Amino acid sequence: MIDAANTTAPASRYLIGVDVGTGSARAGLFDLAGRLLAVAKRDISLFREAGTIAEQSSTEIWDAVCTVIREVVMAAGVDTTAIIGLGFDATCSLVVLGGGGRPLAVGSSEDPNRDIIVWMDHRAVAQAERINDMGHDVLRYVGGRISPEMETPKILWLKENRLETFDAAWQFFDLADFLTWKATGDLARSTCTVTCKWTYLAHEQRWDPTYFQEIGLGSLADEGFARIGTRIVEPGTPLGQGLTAEAAKAMGLQSGTAVAAGMIDAHAGGIGTVGIGGRPGANLAYVFGTSSCTMTSTAEPVFVPGVWGPYYSAMVPGMWLNEGGQSAAGAAIDQLLAFHPAAVEAHGLAEQRHVPLPVLIANAAAEKAGAMSEAVRLAAGLHVVPEFLGNRAPFADPHARAVIAGLGMKRDFDSLVALYVAGLCGIGYGLRQIIETQAQAGAHIESVVISGGAGQHELVRQILADACGAPVVGTVSEEPVLLGSAILGAVAGGAFPDVVSAMKRLCSPAHVYRPAVGALAEIHAKRYSAFAALQKLARELKDS
Q: What is the pLDDT of residues 195-222, one digit of tens each?
A: 999 999 999 999 999 999 999 999 999 9
Q: Is the pLDDT of residue 180 over 90?
A: yes
Identify the pLDDT of residue 52: 86
Instruction: Calculate the alpha carbon distances from 416 to 54, 294, 369, 370, 480 in Å.
Output: 29, 28, 14, 18, 31
- Average predicted confidence (pLDDT) for the chain: 94
> Between the CA atoms of 187, 307, 155 and 64, what dihedral angle is there, to the nearest 10 degrees?
-50
Whole-number pLDDT of residue 12: 80
Closest among 485, 528, 516, 525 to 503, alpha carbons compared: 485
Ranges of each domain in the chain: 4-264, 273-328+435-513, 330-432+517-541
**Quick one: pLDDT at residue 398?**
87
Residue 296 pLDDT > 90: yes
Single-letter code of the amino acid located at 502: A
Of all helices (H) and strands (E), which one includes residue 232?
A: strand 232-233
Is there a contact between 423 and 417 (Cβ–Cβ < 8 Å)?
A: no
Fold of the CATH domain 4-264: Nucleotidyltransferase; domain 5 (3.30.420)
Task: Please report the pLDDT score of residue 543 as a whole number.
Answer: 78
**Angle of helix 343-353 versus helix 330-338 axis, rounded to 10:** 120
Query: What pLDDT was estimated at residue 2?
Result: 27
Position 56: which residue type?
Q
Is 10 a residue whose pLDDT tops 70?
Answer: no
Say which CATH topology domain 273-328+435-513 has. Nucleotidyltransferase; domain 5 (3.30.420)
pLDDT in tens, 414-438: 999 999 999 999 999 999 999 999 9
Residues 6+ apart with CB under 8 A from 146: 128, 131, 132, 139, 152, 153, 199
**Top-tier CATH class for 330-432+517-541:** mainly alpha
pLDDT value at residue 453? 84
Buried b (16+ CB within 10 A) or exposed e, 86-96: bbbbbbbbbbb
- Distance CA(312)–CA(309), nearest Å, equals 8
pTM: 0.86
- pLDDT (0 to 100) of residue 8: 37
Q: Is 473 helix (H, G, I), strand (E, B) or coil?
A: strand
Is residue 9 pLDDT above 80, yes or no?
no
Query: What would the pLDDT profile of 392-409 be if each residue is shown by its tens digit?
Result: 999 989 889 999 999 999
* pLDDT score for 279: 81
Which pLDDT value is given to residue 277?
73
Q: Predicted confidence band at 281 (pLDDT cuts at 50, 70, 90)? A: confident
Question: Residues for the chain: how many in total?
Answer: 544
Q: In which order are the strands placed within the sheet that holds 53-56?
A: 47-49, 53-56, 116-117, 94-97, 171-174
> What gap in Å lies between CA 205 and CA 281, rounded to an integer?
23
Query: What is the three-class DSSP state of 308?
Result: strand
**Phi and psi (nearest 5°) for 269?**
-60, -35
Q: What is the pLDDT of residue 50?
A: 80
Do 273-328+435-513 and 4-264 fall under one CATH topology? Answer: yes
The sign of the CA dihedral 77, 80, 84, 88 is: positive
> What are the tens digits of pLDDT across the range 29-54?
999 999 999 999 999 999 998 878 99
pLDDT of residue 478: 85
